[in-house]
Amino acid sequence: MKMKIEIITNCPSCGSDLEQVNSQLFCRNVSCPAQSVKKIEAFAKKMKIKGLGPASIQKLELESVLDIYFSTEDTLIEVLGEKVGTKVFKEIQNSKNVRFSTLVSALSIPLIGDTAAKKVAVEYNSFRDIMEGSNELPLGEKASDNLFGWLLDNEEMALELDSLMSYTAASAAVEQKGSVCITGKLKDFSNRNSAKEILESHGYTVTSSVSSKTAYLVDEEGKPSSKRKKAENLNIPIVSIDFLINK
């Protein structure tokens, strides 16, 4: 006997109508509690607030990123215990010293990731600067619309974040030296994220795949791979990270 599977039409978290895109269902309610928790998780991770994981967020009943900064040390200790609560409070205070670009990219605004946020921060030093600016951003039309739309819906939050944060100066602009792809194990780095940060600080853009636009392939292991084969076919130089940062 075949069982009929019924597709749900409402979000289990907030009850809003679900939108089906191909085989996936999406809740478009920006105030959906489930989405809010995920956004807070992503924010805490990006802002490097250690100890503020999913369990702590739920225990504290945080509903927005501002709730993180409105949490008192006494409340954190009462809910999370003295040791964890004290640690999380210090982490929250430390996170207030941040680059504006890091804060922007931490807010889960569609199409506003690290690269877009850095472009914005070259011309603007705060949300207030953007609001009082010329209504132009150094971004594509869709990304600009998303950021302006977020500011329109969250003006109070944006200005409150401006008042809470001590924005640190961004590093001086570096010469852009082209795109780099990494394959295989690295000699001096335990993971690719740390290698990516170093390369980006030296002006390289790190991509996940090899294409005709790739300037270099980093392969310190030397084992056969699809990326190495493609780089060889495209006559792309295969180098080490040490070579690139000392180039």
- The whole model's pTM is what? 0.61
At 181 the pLDDT is: 96
- Residue 84, beta-bridge partner list: none
At 139 the pLDDT is: 87
- Average pLDDT (225-247) is 92
Residue 16 in this model has a pLDDT that exceeds 70: no
Q: Report d(CA 175, CA 184) in Å as an integer.
A: 27
Q: What is the DSSP string of 5-48?
A: PPPP-B-TTT-PBEEEETTEEEE--TT-HHHHHHHHHHHHHHTT
Of the candidates 195, 198, 131, 138, which has an alpha carbon nearest to the alpha carbon of residue 158? 131
At 174 the pLDDT is: 56
Lowest average pLDDT, out of 66-70, 174-178, 202-206, 231-235, goes to 174-178
| C-alpha distance from residue 73 to each of 57, 62, 244 (Å) | 15, 15, 45
Residue with tokens 């008192």: 72
Q: Which residue has the higher pLDDT, 40 or 169?
A: 40
At 67 the pLDDT is: 95
- 123 near 139, Cβ under 8 Å? no
Residue 15 in this model has a pLDDT that exceeds 70: no
At 30 the pLDDT is: 55
Residue 100 in this model has a pLDDT that exceeds 90: yes
Burial degree of 68 (CB within 10 A; 0-12, 13-18, 19+): buried
Instruction: Report pLDDT digits (tens) over 176-213.
Output: 789 999 999 998 877 888 788 888 878 889 999 999 99
Q: Report d(CA 115, CA 205) in Å as an integer.
A: 10
Q: Which residue has the higher pLDDT, 95 or 9?
A: 95
Instruction: Report pLDDT digits (tens) over 105-145.
Output: 999 999 898 888 888 988 899 999 999 887 788 888 999 99
Mapping DSSP to helix (H, G, I), strand (E, B) and coil, where does residue 191 land? coil
Q: What percent of the chain has pLDDT over 70?
A: 82
Q: What percent of the chain has pLDDT over 90?
A: 60
At 230 the pLDDT is: 96
The one-character DSSP state at 175 is -
- 19 near 44, Cβ under 8 Å? no
Q: Report d(CA 59, CA 51) in Å as an integer.
A: 12
Residue 75 in this model has a pLDDT that exceeds 70: yes
Lowest average pLDDT, out of 146-155, 162-171, 172-181, 192-201, goes to 172-181
At 9 the pLDDT is: 63
- 216 near 239, Cβ under 8 Å? yes
